[in-house]
Amino acid sequence: MKINIIIGDITESDCDAIVNAANKELRGGSGVCGAIFKKAGWDILQKECYEKGPIKTGEAIETKGYNIKAKYIIHTAGPIYFNYSKEESKRLLSNSYLNSMKLADKLGLKSIAFPSISTGVYGYPIEEASKIALETIYNYKPETLELVEIVCFDKNTFNEYNKNAR
Within 13 Å of residue 97, how many CA atoms lie on the same side as its CB?
Answer: 27
Query: What span, in angstroms and rounded, lies between the C-alpha atoms of 81 and 70?
Result: 29
Q: In this structure, is the dihedral angle defined by the CA atoms of residues 4, 142, 140 and 30, taken in order, positive or negative?
A: positive
Q: What percent of the chain has pLDDT over 90?
A: 96
Give per-residue pLDDT as tens, 86-130.
999 999 999 999 999 999 999 999 999 999 999 999 999 999 999
Tell me: pLDDT of 166 over 90: no
Model's pTM, two decimal places?
0.97
Residues in the chain: 166
Distances (CA, A) of 71 to 68, 124, 149, 156, 162: 8, 29, 15, 29, 28
Mean pLDDT, rounded, for 70-80: 98
CA 6, distance to chain mean position in Å, is 14
**Given this model, what pLDDT does residue 62 score?**
98
Beta-strand runs (E) in 8-59: 17-22
Q: Taking all residues of the chain, what is their mean pLDDT, rounded to a whole number?
A: 97
Question: 141 Cβ partners below 8 Å, 6+ apart?
Answer: none
Domain span at 124: 2-163
Of 21, 28, 40, residue with least CA distance to 120: 21
CATH of the domain at 95: 3.40.220.10
Q: In this structure, is the dihedral angle defined by the CA atoms of residues 128, 129, 134 and 137, taken in order, positive or negative?
A: positive
Mean pLDDT, rounded, for 68-77: 98
Number of structural domains, the chain?
1
Q: Which amino acid is at 43?
A: D
Mean pLDDT, rounded, for 43-58: 97
